[in-house]
Structure formats: structure tokens, C-alpha cells
Amino acid sequence: MFGAWRAPPLALAGARVRLRARTGGSWGWARSAASEANSSQPLEESRQDSQYRDTVLLPRSRFPAQLPGRLQPETELETQQKCGFSELYSWQRERKAKQEFCLHDGPPYANGDPHVGHALNKILKDITNRFYMMRGYKVHYVPGWDCHGLPIELKALSEVKGVENLSPMQIRQRAREFAERAIEKQKSAFIRWGVMADWANCYRTFDPKYEANQLRVFYKMYDKGFIYQDYKPVFWSPSAKTALAEAELEYNEKHVSRSVYMKFPLLKAPPKLASVIDGSSPASVLVWTTQPWTVPANQAVCYMPDSAYSIVKCTTTGERFILAADRVESTAAVLDTQFEVISTCKGVDLADGSCAHPTIPGRVSPLLPANHVTMAKGTGLVHTAPAHGMEDYSVASHHQLPTDCLVDEGGFFTEAAGPELQNKNVLEEGNEAVVQMLQTAGSLLKEEKYVHSYPYDWRTKKPMIIRASKQWFVNTASVKAAAQEVLKKVKVIPTSAANRMLETLDRRTFWCISRQRCWGVPIPVFYQKNTGECLINSETVADVIKIVEQQGTDAWWTLPIEQLLSKEAVAKAGGHDVLDYVKGQDVLDIWFDSGTSWAHVLEGAEQRADTYLEGKDQLGGWFQSSLLTSVAARKKAPYKTLVVHGFTLGEKGEKMSKSIGNVVDPDVVINGGEDHTKDPPYGADVLRWWVAESNVFTEVLVGPVVLNAARDDINKLRNTLRFMLGNVAGFNPETDSIPASEMYIVDQYMLHLLQDYGSKVTEAYKEYDYSKVVRLLQAFCSRNLSNFYFSIIKDRLYCEEEKDPKRRSCQTVLAEALDMVVRSFAPILPHLAEEVFQHLPYKKGSEGVFRTGWINASAVWKKPGIEEAIEGACAMRDSFLGSISGKNALEYEAIIVIEPGLLFELMEALQFEETSSVSQLNEIMMASQTTLLSELPKETPADANVIKGTFLINLEGGDIREESSYSVIALPVAKARCPRCRRYTSPSSNTPCPRCLKVMAAKGS
């Protein structure tokens, strides 16, 4: 109809074609009537214009360009109600689908109000789920909550007096109630954010069936030898009186310790140093520590076998010391003295030497080799207390040294530490007492403050200690090799996160999974009263699981042991009486709780999720605990893809803090604060846009400036949508659409761009790169639609006859663009997407955008080579508009001169006549008329501004390349302004142009 796009004959034939020359001959150069108009003409034209206002087809739509802040949240709630947001999940689960997509929800902690970290995570998941649902997948997404553990217990008891008098069941009841309240708050917020999920069947880690499944995994791992009980040092929280895993620590970079330099007198000189150290010249080894309170537990002094050590003489006191050769100068400086090096030896030469304990008379501390000794600080000789250090414990195990612990659960010295230390807090007065003991014994050489990174309890925010105790462990050393191999087959986004997780796995040798609290899942072990021997086997665990599945883990505390442990199980284990046993008092680590969620939530024989999507802290947390339990229990990962996002920070990159005043509350973002001027209501879609547009694979910034920008971006998008909605009024895609092959070439070009946009945006969604989706959306709407297409088609839309094929052609494009744009952002802005569909002037998917599928870009829209024609024309338009900068292009005509060749052929496809005011080329040029020539006119005015340029044509994948020169001249038009279309195409003032007269005649105007 309008010339279906074809590659020009020259491109097809691969040969030169003789072109008809357009020379312009005796073409005249009259001045514009508009430029000669007197000062009263604008008023007259305004009166005339109003006469024809009802004859043009202006946009019509009730869709608002923007919503006042107070209406935004109200409109979203209405949309959720009208469009069935709450029924969407069940609808898609019940429909027929060939494929299923499972995103397993990492359970947030049920201990507080929803915050922006929750918003970031839940919205990312919802964008993902909505995308897959729209593509026809049956989405499986069951929200969950992590409900056990110390943080909840502490918060639940924070306002209770006499906590020490509460029974375990009273504590558990209060903790459960607190968690349930937090869950309801968070759940309501997540729903308000538009999160689509199986809200009717959420999982909670305190649900009886969940707990029973967790115990099944525990026993399977125990039975395979991956779980064991042992006495060894672990991270211990005195403030919480429980062991913690490394994932439950946070490090205070400004912790201040009391460091001491002390001497251990040699009792027995190392044999290889006998010639240097003898009875007439006694010596001591110099030791440095930042934990003086551990000195009473010292069992040895360690050295690095391969390093060099020096025997030095203090020039001040004459004493002799042994220390690392690399540490002589720095240690002398710290002690404010000078050392004279007497002899140097290898570390191995210190073998078989021993020292006197500095505070405990009669105790011997042997000199032992160890690879953990560092030369970066201290003296190169390490005080070794097996009960208070992981490496120390390894040395003690190898050399069969005692590992007695002198510290109780609360961090106080026990009676075994002696009367001077008993009942003293090791980190406070106990530390001071040990320093004084060193001073009294003459062993203290220097005490000073030392600022360093130190582990703190992640919840109580108090310092940790390392303390030996009997605990239950996962032997990660025996699992991690298999886990690392499995992880290499998992797709990790971003890829850098995979290396971080592999590194954390490599460093982990064991995982302490027992906790000395009561709010949790009990470790199903019984202990013989007299021997302490544990009783656990398939029968005892099966009996407990059966009870837990029916009554929950409260039964462990409420039922007598006779109902939990059968006589048969005791007899089978070689015991005599059930009452000879007691129930264990330890509960499982909450990371084991959440890390076994795959066993409860994931469906099907494979029990494997497509995606786990969480923050980067979960690389050492839930991602890792899930991997370890799954690999240990069934030799495979519980996920196929890991998506790792960053943390939320204030918009200046600082951590959020109430004291700074930069905390962003999602509820205030959506509904506004008390002062709407300060905290306006943005609605949930602004929150969702913020999430999508951010580079979530790094830290994510948020604050008033960021949120205002997000609102402005959405308002710009609304304007684009309003233009399309308004201009498809009276258009029915089913009956009025024009086939692509019969469209204007520029309309075919837009469909070509649409097809490319749809393909790219789909790929970006697949890669979880939602910020790229936003960038593609903004670029397409701004550059391709608003700045280009909308600006050139207004004449066709407003001034052609309503059913004219030229008008229907661009309306077809607008309808397709509207549909694709809305569907492409629907996973991000579900409320806006449904709002647009409610304002469609024609019925298209009356069930809403989410029930009618993903974008459908037809393959026939793809037209290689069509860009050359339109982009060539646009290059010349830019030259034309640049030559009349700041002026109305309709007051000018464009003369385009192109040397014969491919570019000329392409422009001929857009304009068949030499001069035209209604051609496709003229529409792109935005002039009142355009003339296309192959050489400059003979009568070119001397003052004409000739803009020259070149355009490179690249066709057939680069097989055809040709650079063509062109010239563009802008001259004032000779005709008068049409009062209807406002182009300068009328033969006389105040008279409609021929085209407008024809349209009005057809309408009977």
C-alpha cells in the first residue's frame, strides 16, 4: 500500500544502476508567505485555527499523565483489588503449563518490621517470578520465615522482668508469639509491595512438619558420619551463653584489647642451643598476646620451624631473650630498649626446649613447632592455650596436651582457675587480674592498648571469646570437596560471587551446629546420666520425629522422657532403664534450620530449585548451609542458579542509621510520612522501580533524591503511555490493523526496532539484569518513541481522515508498541501495567496484562537493512534541523541533494516525486515540503546555507558497503500556513491546504 520495505535494486543486483537525474531545472525560490505576514496575522490565524479544531483527531484518554502523591497509593490498592492481585498466584498454579519455574524463598528473620533490605530482596524475587509466569511457566514460590534463635528470644524477653526465673516453655511461648507478630507485619508489607506468592501456604521454621523434616536431614547426615560430637574450642558468646558459628559473627574493626609482652623463663634449654644457653646465662622466650586472660590456660609456646630466631641480650637489664630474628628491632622499640644479638638459629633448633609458666608455679610449657605462627606482628613466639584457640587446639591434639577450660558459659573464670581469678569476667576484671599476676611474678615486660578487628556476637553486639566445650559439629572438611565440585556446576550471578563462596567453603573445616538455648529445634540425643554417653540411632530419632510431626518440638520440653524414648530403643542400645537417660539440652543452629528448607519446601523427586536469590551475606550463610546439608544428605545442590545482590545503603553510600537520619522506611515511601512535604507518598511502584533500576550486584543506594528521580522516571513513562493511549482511541487492532508489509517504511522500521527491543529486554530478564531492562525501556521510549516517532507522526494522526490507511498504519505501530512496552515493564511496575490495560480503548486481554502472556514480537517485523533508509534520512534531517536551530521546521522546505548511488535509491523509496509535502521522507524531515535531487539546482541562492555530510551504508552483513555524500539546504517555504494542519502548504492565507480540504470534504465538514 505504502511501498513494502525491500532492499534497493542496487543492493540486490550488486551492480551500478543508471539513475534518472533530478536537477531542479527552472525551479523557483519564492519567499515564505509566513515571513511576510504582518503583526496581526497570528491573532487572525488563531481565530481561524479554532474554526477547524473539531475537524482534527486529537488524542483522547482518561489515563492521567501523573498521579498526585496522595492518589498514588490509593490507585495502587484499587488496582490490586480490581485486577485480582491476590488470586494471581493460585490462578497460574492451576493453569496448564509445560514448564515449572521454582524460586525458593530464603526465609527472612522474623524479628522486626519490614525494611528496605526486605524490599530489595522481595521485589527482585517478584520481578523474576512475574517474568517467568508471563512467559507461560508455572511458578512455584512459597514465602517463608526463619523463626528460631537467639535474636528472637532476646527481643521477646527484652520487656519481661525476672527472665532468669522463666521456664524453657515460657521462653518458647513468648518467642513464638513475638515471631508470629513479626511475620504478620512483614507479610502484610510484602503483599502491599505487590509480591505474588503462595501466601496461603507459607512455611515457618517452627512449623511441626518443617521441624520433622529438619530432624530427618539431621539424622541422615549423622548416619553418614557427617555429624559428630566433640570437645574443642568454638566461638562463644558470653553475653548469650551459647556457641556460635562463624557466620553469626560480625567484626568490630575498632575493638581495643589489652596486649602484653611477657617472658617465659627457660627451664630446659633446647639441646642444639646448649652451647649458647647454659646455667650461667639463663634466658627467657619473649611472647606477645592480645588476650592476657587466656594465659592461665597456657600449655605451650609455639615457634615457626622454618623461620630464623635470635638469642639477644637486653642492653638495659642484661637479660637474655629468644624471639624471631625478623621481630628483634620492632620488639626492642616497643619495649624502649636495645637488643644485642648473641646468636641466630633456625626455629627447628628450639625443639625439645621448655619454659616455666609465668603465673602458675610448677607448670611446664614446652616449645613446640606450629605453622600458624606469624612474623607479621608480635615476637614470632605464640602463647598457646588449647581451650581458647583453634590452631592452639590442633597443636594440643597433635602433642596430647590438656585442653582444660577455666571459663564458664557466662565468660567468668571457674573455680579451677584459682581463688585470685574465680568468678571474674575474663574480658573485664579477669583480664586485669591476670595482668597483675604477670606483674607480680616479674613476667610482664610491657602492657599497651591494641586496636584491631575482633569478633562480636551478631545479635547482642558484645565481644566473643573462643572457649572449649562439648558441641555437635558438621564435618565440613569431609563434605566441602564434593560441595565445591557441585557448586562449579551452578550458575552464579554475578560470576565473581562464585569464587567468594568457593573460598569461604575452602576455609571451613567444621561447622558448630549446637546452641545452648531453648528456642529452637532440639538435637534429638539422649545422654546416659552417669557416663554422659549419647544415645542416638534410627529408632530413637524416628520416635522423636513422629511426635514432633504431630505436636511440634515443644514436646521435647513438655513430655516426660518415657514418652520420647522407648524401652525397646534403650534395650537395643545395650541400656537397661529409660530413666537412666536424660534429654539433651542443645538446640540446632538456625543456619541448620534454614539450611534444610529444601527438604520441606521444594517439590518433586529432584527437590531442586531453579533459583536462590539473596544478599551477598548469604554466600557464607544460607547459600552455604543449604549446599552443605544437601550435598551431605543427597550428593547434589538444592539450586541450579544463585543470584547474589548487594546491601542497601544511604544515597551517599553510608550505612543507614537513625542517628544520621538516613533510614528509609518502605511504609513511609509508599504511604508518606506525617509531613507529606518532607516525606511524600510515592506508592509501591516507585519502590519497585528503584529496585529494578539499581545495579543490585553492588551496594544499592536509596534516599529522597533517588526516590524523587524514580518517581520522575515513572512520570516520564506515563507521558509516553498517555500519548499512545490517546492516539489509539477509535482504533481496534483486530479490525483496523495494517499488515506490516503494507505499512509506511518508517512504520515498518519501528516494528523492526520493537522486535529488537523485545528480544533484548527478554534476554536481560533471563540474566536477572533488571537495571538493563530499565535502561532499554528508557532508551526505547525516549529516543525511538518520544524523540523520533511521536514527533513525526502527529500530522498523520491528527490531520488525516480517521480511517485513512496511512493513519491506521501508525496506529497499528502505536498499538503494538503500547502492548510491548507495557508487557516489558509489567514485572517491574505491575500496578502501572494493569492501570494502562484498564484504560485501553479496545478490549485486549480483558483478564489483565499478567494473565495474557509475555511480549509477542513477530519474526516478520525483523527487516535487515531497513535501518539504512530511515537512519540515512534521519542523518539528513539532523543536518536540516541543525541549519535552522531554534526555528520552526514547518516554516522551511528541505532540499536534499545526493550523488547517484545506494543512498539516493533508499531516499527514492521514501519519496517517489521530486517535491512532496506528504511523502514519507518529508514526514521524517519534519519540513513543510521536501525536494530530492541528484545534483544542486542551477539557481541556488548565493546566501543559501548548504550543509554537507556523508552516510555509510552497510548492507548484507557488510558485504555491501558504500559511503555517500549529501547536501541539505533549508529555505523558507513559499506557501501560506494551513489553519488546520499548521503546515505551510496552503496556496493562500487562512485557507486550508488541499490535503485538509480533501479530508474535511470526506467527513462532510
Q: How do residues 228-250 score in pLDDT, each as one tens digit?
A: 999 999 999 999 999 988 878 89
Question: Grid cell 577450660 — which residue?
Answer: 405
Helical spans, DSSP H, in 694-804: 704-727, 733-736, 745-766, 770-779, 790-799
My answer on whether omega of the bond before 107 falls inside 30° of 0, hence cis, is no
Check residue 844 and give its pLDDT. 62
Check residue 958 and give its pLDDT. 63
Neighbours of 502 (CB within 10 A): 16
Sequence-distant (6+) residues with CB within 8 A of 814 are: 724, 727, 728
Distance of CA 461 to the CA centre of its chain: 26
More confident residue, 474 or 575: 474
Sequence-distant (6+) residues with CB within 8 A of 968 are: 876, 879, 880, 883, 894, 895, 896, 897, 946, 947, 949
Check residue 700 and give its pLDDT. 96
pLDDT surpasses 70 at 21: no
Q: How do residues 783-824 score in pLDDT, each as one tens digit?
A: 999 999 999 999 999 999 999 999 999 999 999 999 999 999
Check residue 30 and give its pLDDT. 31
pLDDT surpasses 70 at 594: yes
More confident residue, 1004 or 858: 858
Nearest to 846 by CA among 274, 45, 83: 83
Q: How do residues 150-162 score in pLDDT, each as one tens digit?
A: 889 989 998 788 8
More confident residue, 658 or 192: 192
Do 138 and 102 touch, CB atoms closer than 8 A? Answer: no
Check residue 384 and give its pLDDT. 96
Region 17-30 average pLDDT:
36
DSSP letters for 113-153: ---HHHHHHHHHHHHHHHHHHHTT-EEE---EEB--SHHHH
Check residue 44 and give its pLDDT. 38
pLDDT surpasses 50 at 53: yes
The structural domains of the chain, with segments of one domain joined by +, span 9-55+868-1003, 255-458
pLDDT band at 507 (very low <50, low <70, confident <90, very high): confident
pLDDT surpasses 80 at 617: yes
* Architecture label for domain 255-458: Alpha-Beta Complex (3.90)
pLDDT surpasses 90 at 367: yes
Region 736-760 average pLDDT:
95
Check residue 12 and give its pLDDT. 33
Question: Grid cell 491506521 — which residue?
Answer: 808
pLDDT surpasses 80 at 26: no
pLDDT surpasses 70 at 118: yes
Q: Give 92's Cβ-side CA count (13 Å radius).
A: 29
More confident residue, 899 or 129: 129
pLDDT band at 1000 (very low <50, low <70, confident <90, very high): very high
CA–CA gap between residue 986 and residue 999 (Å, rounded): 14
pLDDT band at 946 (very low <50, low <70, confident <90, very high): confident
pLDDT band at 2 (very low <50, low <70, confident <90, very high): very low
Nearest to 969 by CA among 908, 894, 916: 894
> What's the distance, Cα to Cα, between the start and end of the chain in Å?
27
Helical spans, DSSP H, in 728-744: 733-736
pLDDT band at 657 (very low <50, low <70, confident <90, very high): confident
Region 584-604 average pLDDT:
94
In the predicted model, what is the mean pLDDT of the chain?
91
pLDDT band at 19 (very low <50, low <70, confident <90, very high): very low
Q: How do residues 401-441 score in pLDDT, each as one tens digit?
A: 999 999 999 999 999 999 999 999 999 999 999 999 999 99
Do 467 and 233 touch, CB atoms closer than 8 A? Answer: yes
Percent of the chain with pLDDT over 90: 81
Check residue 49 and give its pLDDT. 63
Region 617-643 average pLDDT:
96
pTM: 0.88
Check residue 51 and give its pLDDT. 81
> In 825-899, which ranges are E strands?
892-898
Question: Grid cell 557466662 — which residue?
Answer: 410
